[in-house]
A = this chain, B = another copy of it.
Amino acid sequence: MTGEGRAALALDDGGVTDAGAGLEGGASSSVGVGVGVGVGSGPRQTRRSTNTVTLTDVAQHARVSPQTVSRSIRSPELVSEFTLERVRNSIAETGYVPNLAASNLASNRSMTVAAVIPAVSASVFADALHGLEEVLSPAGYQLFIGSTDYRPSHEEELVRALLGRRPDGIFIVGTKHSPNTTHLLRESRVPVVEAWDLTDDPIDSVVGFSNRDAISALVQFAVTRGYAHPTFAGSFQTGDFRAIARRGAFEDSVRELYPGEPIRVVDSGTATVDFETGRRLLDETLTTYPETDVLMFASDVFAAGAVLECARRGIRIPGDIAITGFGDFEISRHLVPTLTTVAVPNRQIGTIAGELLLARMTHRPVENSELDLGFSVVARESA
């Protein structure tokens, strides 16, 4: 360890008080609107604490009615060229920033979409969010993100809080929710897209693929390649219904396709999805089920950790043991050996969900609101 950067923490109580914000910047600001300073005669002093510029201020400055300013912003085609010009100048000169909370309240549209995901830092969901944003942002919608950390109890609380913001649409990962969550979402009358899995009983719309079928296909693949002793490894924490579905699919498939073969599953419990856990899962597999000839991981991340560990230990893949992953992350086609896995349309889940929501929110007809985006088994060197 060379070079250690300076560090200087220290928060919470101390001497220096909050400063900084009150700098009263450049030339273009502050109309002469003397509100907020008890002007004397009025029946009661106004409540405006922050002396921000309002639509009315802009209207006065441009010598038009507030409504005209509102129109200039929301539907400029209804306003004459001349007036529009004046209003625009006033907006620039006053530094007006519309208060969307007020707009939301008055118009009953928030121009937001709420996204409920298990974890922001999981790249698969980040990809989907990216896709969502890509579609919604140009249409003027903003994304509200909440993460559940795979805790169903937290999900309900979160959904409740997000609904409080009156989003125009909701994107939620997973198709299994608590009864209350489902009820809340149904009652909200807001377009909802459930993602990442399929279900017979959607709240509204679904965009995903069958986690069960994907694993079945992978087991089928193992059969075709002649592997005799498959083991499944992953972390199956209570709230991660997709991982649990995959595990169930593995068990069923093995029963069906490997009659007589014992069902081997290695579970890391609540461990995070990272390379380290992949190594540990490999380790546990090798000691617990040394007969394993194909080790199927519930995520490419685990698989990658295992592949790297094998490289370190000199275990040959697929010679000594074959390895498969799930997700087709970018790393998988760069590993040595490259990783056999299941490709899943992460990004596309986001974009398609976004388009679906957009159609719903603008009351455009939607042909199909239960979309199976499919998956594909990607055969590479590791199996």
A154 to chain B, nearest CB (A): 9
Binary interface encoding of chain A residues 289-313 relative to chain B, with 1 for a CB under 8 A from any of its CBs, else 0: 0000000000000001100110110
A356: nearest chain-B partner, CB-CB: B11
Which residue of A5, A11, A108, A204 has the most chain B CB atoms within 10 A of its CB atom? Answer: A5
Q: Do B25 and A187 have beta carbons less than 8 Å apart?
A: yes
| A286 contacts B by Cβ under 8 Å | no
* Listed stretches A78-86, A163-171, A241-249, A260-268; interface member: A163-171
Within 8 A of B (CB), among A184-210: 184, 186-192, 202-205, 209-210
- Name 14 extra pairs, CB < 8 A, besides A3-B221, A16-B368, A130-B147: A3-B220, A5-B214, A5-B373, A5-B376, A11-B368, A13-B365, A26-B183, A50-B108, A50-B189, A105-B105, A143-B144, A144-B144, A279-B334, A331-B331
Residues on B with beta carbons closer than 8 Å to the beta carbon of A142: 144, 146, 161-162, 165
Q: Which of the residues B98, B191, B218 comes within 8 Å of A164, measured between beta carbons?
A: B98
A20 is an interface residue with CB less than 8 A from chain B:
yes
- List the B side residues contacting A216 at CB < 8 Å: 3
A101 B110 Cβ-Cβ under 8 A:
yes
Residues of A near any B CB (own CB < 8 A) = 1-18, 20-23, 25-26, 29, 47, 49-50, 52, 95, 97-102, 104-105, 108, 110, 119-121, 123, 126-127, 129-130, 133, 142-147, 160-166, 183-184, 186-192, 202-205, 209-210, 213-214, 216-218, 220-221, 224, 274-276, 279, 304-305, 308-309, 311-312, 330-331, 334-336, 352, 355-356, 359-360, 363-369, 371-379
